[in-house]
Chains A and B, each alone.
Chain A
């Protein structure tokens, strides 16, 4: 039973009705899928010759090289945006308005500008040269700003007793942040952070628009090769499968980490019973999901 409030446990009549719906639904969905597959076959996209390109070793290595470029852009932007996020989250939480206000403006600004426009700015406006630079710069600014908000929410959601206790034992502001607040916030926000990293991975595909030679760009070229009969649809299917697998692996990693985290109980527990150490937001992100 799905734990939704909407439905009663079905009685005999309702069960019959559900079974009827299930049959009709299966027919409809199977029909729709069959229609799509029929169209694919009809357009000749499942013909063997259109898939022949997979057998060429050169193409396999090229495809892997393109995948490598996607992953390089992802790794660089992920690391840089984590750094950017940490710095600007600290800035927004600073006691000094001189750090706080500019950080706030920068974070709000870069979250409001579409990543594509930023990429265009870096590539066509400032002309950073190699498209790789523009991809990484744009993704860093956009996702870094989002991550800054995630970090900030994580730190704010920690119980006040944590920082009060740290100050009481004589730590300084930086020590409190680095030794006490950040480690806990990081652990608590891990699912949200990783789902943002999934966004970074997905957004590397934007590099296609500024001719960064990543997976999608390679797919576009390969899909136009007349020698293989312009296998655009087979190539799209393969590339989509690669992206989906990578993203699912990341999401699975997030799930695994948050489960391990919940088991390991490394968070502080005092004699007064469990502290509300897990932020409320944790519940909504317990099953990390990629955001837009």
Chain B
């Protein structure tokens, strides 16, 4: 308990950074992932090819390697100028780059679960494209997108800890500070693990209940 109380400021700071990292890259990868999914289902072949290539390459690359690239190699290219918090920027970029491939697949799978007959029927009823999308396709797609999306977000939250290895002062880096100050690393890590469990379990429960409530019988 002392380990936690004596270092509460580091714990609070670390987890605030973790949550900041999670929220920023979460929003960004939802946007980028949706754009990629739109490319993957678009009627223009070149967009489809690009989306497929992106997803195939990124999903088969270790996230640590993506971090490695953005933290160490990317600055050499001199694309962005000097940044005050470069490593935080690198972490957000790496997480967004990596997770959006998974978001893309979730969204695409969701769109593909809507049977062709649904939109054909709405066309036959004379709905416009916008109407068909907003009142027929999207409500059904949402049901099959949201539960797996929650698991993707859980994975993103857990993946933020990798940033600790690349000079971002977030929850995974608390151990460094503790051992510097002479506290037991193990107990500190157990607290970190506990807080992660507290953050993750509600999301998992939410995902399960959504899955049960929203599963469409087809």
A and B from one assembly?
yes
A residues near B (Cβ < 8 Å) are 1-8, 10, 14, 18, 21-22, 25-26, 29, 39-40, 42-43, 45, 108-109, 111-118, 120-121, 124-126, 198, 201-206, 208-209, 216, 219-220, 223, 232-233, 236, 239-240, 243-244, 247-248, 251, 284, 289-292
Measured in the bound complex, the distance between the Cα atoms of B194 and A118 in whole Å is: 12
> Is B185 a contact partner of A125 (Cβ separation < 8 A)?
yes
**Contact pick for B60, options A40, A121, A247, CB 8 Å:** A247
Interchain CA distance A22-B204 in the complex, whole Å: 41
A sample of 18 inter-chain contacts (CB < 8 A) reads A1-B43, A5-B120, A5-B137, A6-B133, A10-B43, A18-B43, A21-B44, A25-B46, A116-B161, A117-B171, A124-B189, A125-B189, A202-B60, A204-B62, A205-B64, A219-B68, A236-B69, A292-B152
Once A116-B172, A223-B72 are accepted as A-B contacts, the answer to whether A202 and B77 lie under 8 Å apart by CB is: no
The contact of A117 among B68, B76, B161, by CB within 8 Å, is B161
Q: Which of A4, A39, A111 contacts B78 (CB 8 A)?
A: A39
The distance in angstroms between the C-alpha atoms of A120 and B190, with both chains bound, is: 10
Closest-by-CB residue of A relative to B153 is A292
**Interface members, chain B 110-131 (any A CB < 8 Å):** 111-112, 114-116, 118-120, 123
CB-CB under 8 A from A118, the residues of chain B are: 193
B contact patch SS: helix
Cβ-defined contact, B102 with A292, below 8 A: yes
Q: Is the CB of A251 within 8 A of B60?
A: yes
- Min distance, Cβ B180 to any Cβ of chain A, angstroms: 12
Find out whether the CB atom of B137 lies under 8 angstroms from the CB atom of A206. Answer: no
Interface hits, B38-58 → A, CB 8 Å: 41, 43-48, 50, 56-57
Q: A1-B43, A125-B184 are in contact. List 5 more A-B contacts (CB 8 A).
A: A6-B41, A117-B161, A202-B62, A202-B63, A208-B68
A121–B47 CB distance below 8 A: no
Q: CB < 8 Å: which of B56, B112, B185 contacts A4?
A: B112
Q: Find out whether the CB atom of B175 lies under 8 angstroms from the CB atom of A7.
A: no
Query: What is the number of contacts between chain A and chain B, taking CB atoms within 8 Å?
Result: 174
The interface residues of chain B lying within 8 Å CB-to-CB of A124 are 175, 179, 185-186, 189
In the A-B complex, the 3 residue pairs with the closest CB atoms: A125-B186, A292-B155, A205-B62
Residue pair B102, A236 in contact (C-beta under 8 Å): no
Chain A CB within 8 A of B210 CB? no
Q: Of the candidates B137, B152, B193, B197, which one forms a contact with A121 in the assembled complex, judged by CB atoms under 8 Å apart?
A: B193
Contact present for A2 and B48 (CB under 8 Å): yes
Contact of B27 with A by CB under 8 A: no
